[in-house]
Amino acid sequence: MFKHFSRSLSLVAIITVVCGAQSLRQAADDAGLLVGTAVRPHLFSESAYTQTLAHQYNMVEPEDAMKWPALRPNNSTYDFRQGDEVVRFAQAHRMKIRGHCLVWDHDNPDWLTKDHFTARQLSRILHEHITRVMTHYHGEVFAWDVINEATDENGKVRDSIWYNQPGIGLSEKGTAYIEQVFRWAHTADPHALLFYNEAEGEGLNRKSDAIYSMMKSFKRHGVPIDGVGLQMHVPAIDADIDSIAAEVFANIARLTALGLQVHITELDVPLTVEPDGAVRPSDLARQAEMYRRIVRACLNNAGCTAIQTWGFTDKYSWIGSHSHHTRGAALPFDQTYQPKAAYRALLEELSAGRSPRSDH
């Protein structure tokens, strides 16, 4: 009888953690923080996907639905259907929407990259795109990744169609074209928060130093920018988690000291996956620790206001298809939407809120 009673109690405990009063969303709401995930609107027909999403998150970001290939079938047409689906879902579930991304060198439609536009034409096309898209989502998208991954690993402005191939007329003038797109974005929607989003500049290195200098200069020159998005695609295996966490904390601290917000925008922690799909339990534990320490580094900086993962279930993640399925299992929920150790680490950290913890 006692055995039955204790078994029922532990069952109740499990149910409470998984789908009861406590959720990432509730913990984040209590901490005054946004917890989000990238989403794919064609999956909204899957009930486990939408139920987990609405229960666990207070923010969404379209993974691909607001990129150029989705929005711009050709030079004269806009197709907002996929993006609008994300907006409708978010509004129905009282979630904030981050927009991603207005300017990127990568994943642009053929008509844009292969038609040999002049710098003057590209400038007009980009200005019009930013204005039209931000006007369409005015009052719905609260924050935009205005420009994505504009810096290379040495901290130099990356060669790109928008910078110098042929660029929008500010070729070889360093960050001037980046300033220009922020000014266009601010005019298009003065109420939206505007972010510079970047990969591999989360810790302390040449790239993050360059981004910090650019931000300092933008603040000095009155460029309308509100924050930096740190993508945070961080493998856990063979990583020195202590030093990564300390560097991420320090980087967030110096950026927020400039009066900028930081959003963690694309957190995922890929693991080695065996051909049969198996991952090592010890790797899952290290992954959880990485999630815990990254979230803590954010919570320990008041200006870090959002934590977002790049998807939430291992069933759907960019990592598998981009690594011939040798890596994956990067997200807080497994392929059957069961919470992993990474989920529990996230929940514990968010529940502790911003109360200071000694290690970063």
Catalytic residues: 149, 266
Long-range contacts of 174-179 (CB under 8 A, 24+ apart): 175/214, 175/217, 175/218, 178/147, 178/150, 178/214, 179/218, 179/221, 179/223
- Is 309 a binding residue for ligand G3I by CB under 6 A? The answer is no
Which window, 64-72, 159-167, 200-208, 297-305, contacts ligand G3I (CB under 6 A)? 64-72
Number of residues that bind ligand G3I (CB under 6 A): 10
Q: Which of 107, 115, 153, 242 binds ligand G3I (CB under 6 A)?
A: 107
- The answer to whether 109 touches 73, Cβ cutoff 8 Å, is yes
Choosing from 160, 231, 305, 308, the residue that interacts with ligand G3I (CB under 6 A) is 231
Contacts of residue 91, Cβ cutoff 8 Å, sequence gap at least 6: 140
Q: Residue 148, interface with ligand G3I (CB under 6 A)?
A: yes
63 lies in the site for ligand G3I, by CB under 6 A: yes
- Contacts with ligand G3I, 246-285, as mask; x by CB under 6 A: --------------------x-------------------
Give the contacts of 274 (CB within 8 A, at least 6 positions apart). none
- Would you say 29 or 105 has its CB closer to ligand G3I? 105
Peptide bond into 41 cis (omega under 30): no
Chain residues 2-61 in contact with ligand G3I, contact rule CB under 6 A:
none
**Cβ 206 to ligand G3I, closest distance in Å?**
19
Per CB under 6 A, the list member of 43, 46, 69, 84 interacting with ligand G3I is 69
108 binds ligand G3I (CB under 6 A): no
Burial of 121 (0-12, 13-18, 19+ CB in 10 A): middle
CA 136 to chain centre: 21
Point out which residues bind ligand G3I (CB under 6 A): 63-64, 67, 69, 107, 148, 199, 231, 266, 318
